[in-house]
Chain A
Amino acid sequence: MRFALQINEGPYTHQASDTAYQFAKAALARGHEIFRVFFYHDGVNNGTRYTVPPQDDRNLQKLWSDLAEQHNVDLVVCIAAAQRRGILDANEAKRQGKDGDNIAPGFRISGLGQLIEAGIQADRLIVFGD
């Protein structure tokens, strides 16, 4: 079965990203497909590679990046939400005249159409938020 996940909150304040990650891991372990994870609202903050949590804490960005690499999961950050919150890839940084980018490996920036498409293409869309 194809699952799509939507994550509305950033890491560490809310549990949404943790729950979504545990769900994704369990779904993959059962042989399901995670078609796409769409990061919306503050959820885009999961996608910066500049986070440095304490060593005894989980690193959510790294967990997502590793999951994307190991299981070919499409991690999409909403472009409008990302621009508001300073999440940039190299193209966006150049286009907006910013001095650097911060998008984490495995994440890509795209539009809200990717969320609608996920709703259409996936068998189930599950929203994790606050």
Chain B
Amino acid sequence: MSEMKKFLYLNRKAPYGTIYALESLEVVLIGAAFEQEVSLAFLDDGVFQLMNNQDASGTGMKGFSKTYRALGDYEVRKLYVETESLALRGLAVDDLMPITWEDEDEDYAEKPSIIPVSKAELAELIAGHDVVLSF
């Protein structure tokens, strides 16, 4: 693939009520094989996708929250979370799963993948990507 594009996945919906969160993750995992630059943004109810202590077992649905923690292995290292969306829902970054990636240049030091951003910073992120996939 000659051309390198920057992909932004815009996640605005809570998990489980609809399939979009799960399917967004599926595209991200498949897309990792294409060696494009990938960022994920979580805003509005999308921030609930990253909640710690998710347990879907009682719903009969397949839980998929653990997959977010594996994203680092797919070189997906930028998970932008909008702080205003968190605050509106009574949440803080501490309520989210600890998601990290291993920096091979620094003796595989574990670094956080979750990057808190403001609304204004997220607007700049949208403007800085080639393709925006909305879920």
Taking Cβ atoms with an 8 Å cutoff, the residues of A that contact B are 6, 8, 40-41, 80-81, 111-113, 115-117, 119-120, 125, 127, 129
| Docked-complex contact A41 and B19, CB < 8 angstroms | yes
Q: Known A125-B133, A127-B134; judge A116-B31 contact (CB<8 A).
A: yes
Q: Known A41-B20, A41-B23; judge A112-B30 contact (CB<8 A).
A: yes
Closest 10 CB pairs of A and B: A112-B30, A119-B131, A116-B31, A127-B134, A116-B34, A125-B131, A120-B5, A112-B27, A113-B30, A120-B3
Q: How many residues on the B side are at the interface (Cβ–Cβ under 8 A)?
A: 17
Contacts of A81 in B (CB 8 A): 23
Taking Cβ atoms with an 8 Å cutoff, the residues of B that contact A are 1, 3, 5, 7, 19-20, 23, 26-27, 30-31, 33-34, 36, 131, 133-134
Closest to B32 in A: A116
| A73→B4 CA distance, assembly (Å) | 24
Closest to A113 in B: B30
